[in-house]
Amino acid sequence: MSRHLQANISDKQKQKILYQMTELALLESASLISSLGHNQVKFTVDLIGLKNKNDLDKLFNPDHPDMFAVCHQVEGPCTGHIIFLLEEKSASIFTKAVLNKKDQMLKLSEMEEEALVELGNIIVNNFLSNYVHILDESISTDIPILKQQKYAPLVDELNNEPVDKEFYIVRFAVEIATYNFFAHILWFDHFCQLDREPTGLHKIVPIQE
Amino acid sequence: MQNMSRQLDTLMRDSTLFDVINSGLIVLNHKGEVVIWNKWMVQHSFIDTNKALKQSFLQLFPELTKRLQTAVSNALSLHLSSIISARLGQSVLPLYRNE
């Protein structure tokens, strides 16, 4: 596409694209995780927005700041990070429910941590494959790494720019076995720098607004 | 692409190095064909190097799990990395221990 045909797209348009990508990515992820694990899982989009560090205490529970994050570094026209993030307790419930582990221990074993990385990788890769198809953009990712950290320093570390830099967040409800909790996808830099109309929106199924 | 091709040539020239690794190593080219198949893979898959090389990975293992198929396709066409562990109860490839 020539430069003069490129158009800046608004935050509202980005959120619409992100919503469509999210719906599709979560559907594909839930289907795959249900087939791999021992329990059916359902994901439902709850919130999509452009946020900054000052919003963190409203997005997460300051009484339970410890989080697990499966972090993927994205290289391409814009570099950045995309992470699958959830509270420590939710990470434990999610992983143990997928693996059908009955123990109530909060701490994850090394094997369970490996499984959590794979679960995060499945979800993030579904986001990114939709991103590539919709935007017709070439990117690459490194092998994901697991971080266990409080949310504020984690966001600081990944957002290695001014404190007020914005990032996109997707919060989605997870239903598995008898449990309900929230999980999140955070996009640093990459999606925020999107400055042109997507070329592949026709490739995804339209959704009701 | 030329750079990648040169890297592949170097890899293939040094492939004997990979035979001393005590893990399975498979390298695919952009068409999904096997270009490195180390000794560990021969011993644990019972597929000879000559049979594996230049074969399409998906044809070599036609009953691959959907997860692995997607991971290979994501890597080759979208450059996305995947982690597949045996933790989720999957047997990633039909490999056997030689007792």
Give residue limits of the domains in chain A.
9-197
A88, A116 Cβ separation under 8 angstroms: no
* Residue A153: other Cβ atoms inside 10 A: 11
Pick out chain A residues at pLDDT < 70. Answer: 1-9, 160-164, 189-209
pLDDT value, residue A72:
95
pLDDT in the model for residue A5: 34
Task: Give the pLDDT score at A163.
Answer: 59
Best B66, B77, B78, B92 residue to mutate vs chain A (most A CBs within 10 Å):
B78
The tokens describing A181, both together, are 């909790």
- Read off the pTM: 0.85
Cβ neighbours for B69, distance < 8 A, ≥ 6 positions apart = B58
Closest-CA residue in chain A for B75? A140
Instruction: Output the pLDDT for position A196.
Output: 54
CA B27, CA B11: separation in Å to the nearest integer? 9
B74 touches A: beta carbon within 8 Å: yes
Helix (H, G, I), strand (E, B) or coil at B46: coil
With the C-alpha atoms ordered A20, A174, A81, A65, is the resulting torsion angle positive or negative? positive
CA distance B50 to chain A (A): 30
Predicted local distance difference test score (pLDDT) of residue A208: 40
Q: Do A121 and B83 touch (CB under 8 A)?
A: yes
Q: Which CATH class is domain A9-197?
A: alpha beta
Residue B42 scores a pLDDT above 60: yes
pLDDT in tens, B22-40: 999 999 999 999 999 999 9
Contact B87 A132 (CB under 8 A): no
CA distance A134 to B68: 23
What pLDDT score was predicted for residue A190? 57
Is the pLDDT score of B51 beyond 80? yes
The answer regarding whether domain B2-88 maps to CATH 3.30.450 reads yes
Model-level ipTM above the cut of 0.90:
no
Identify the pLDDT of residue A43: 98
Q: Which of B4, B64, B88, B91 to mutate to test the interface with A (most CBs of A within 10 A)?
A: B88
The verdict on a CB contact (< 8 Å) between A139 and B84 is no
